[in-house]
Amino acid sequence: MNIYLIRHGEAEQTSKNKPHEERALTANGIEIIKNSIEIWKQFIDRFDIILTSPLKRAKQTANILYGIFKPEFKVIEEICLLNGGLTEDLITTASSLNLKDVAMVGHQPDLGIHIALMTGSTNANYKIPPSTIAKIHFKEKPRVEKGVLEFFLPSINNKG
């Protein structure tokens, strides 16, 4: 099984009028995630399913992914992808799907923690910029510390 951990695109800043949960992708964030996905397609043929944090910016990112990769299943909100979600719960959820390629859209710093725990590199501090993807491969049933980080692709901004 492959788990793809994806950080949502660049989002609006938090303000009095824009609570954390309602922050949307910026126009630049949408452009960057689309540009990044075009590069990712050189390394990824498909996703079977896309799971996403329920927060607006993550759902927007997941829907862009869905529109380009067109997986068999619709985007599903997964509460474990909110900040504070447990890696073990993500692995259990992915395993229960019995699919090969599971994309998960979430937030920093949790995605960095999930990468470290899934791969057993607990001394690492993975900083995941917006619009970044990491592929973790599990040879057998996914379990904590049994994954291999196969690639880590940062965002692509063609504005120079």
Three-state SS for 34-85 is: HHHHHHHCCCCCCCCEEEECCCHHHHHHHHHHHHHHCCCCCCEECHHHCCCC
pLDDT above 90 (res 82): yes
pLDDT above 70 (res 114): yes
Neighbouring C-beta atoms of residue 32, cutoff 10 Å: 22
State the angle between helix axes of 110-119 and 87-97 in degrees (0 to 180), rounded to the nearest 10: 70
- What lies within 8 Å, CB to CB, of 53 at 6+ separation is 8, 59, 77, 78, 81, 82, 105, 106, 107
* Structural domain range at position 126: 2-13+20-153
Tell me whether residue 90 is in a domain: yes
pLDDT in tens, 1-45: 999 999 999 999 888 888 888 899 999 999 999 999 999 999 999
Tell me whether residue 158 is in a domain: no
- Domain total in the chain: 1
What is the pLDDT, as a whole number, of residue 155?
Answer: 87
Tell me whether residue 125 is in a domain: yes
Q: What is the CATH number of the domain that holds 93?
A: 3.40.50.1240
Tell me whether residue 70 is in a domain: yes
What is the pLDDT, as a whole number, of residue 62?
Answer: 98
Tell me whether residue 30 is in a domain: yes
pTM equals 0.94
What is the pLDDT, as a whole number, of residue 21?
Answer: 83
Tell me whether residue 101 is in a domain: yes
Taking the CA atoms of residue 97, residue 100, residue 103 and residue 104 in that order, the dihedral angle to the nearest 10 degrees is: 40
Tell me whether residue 160 is in a domain: no
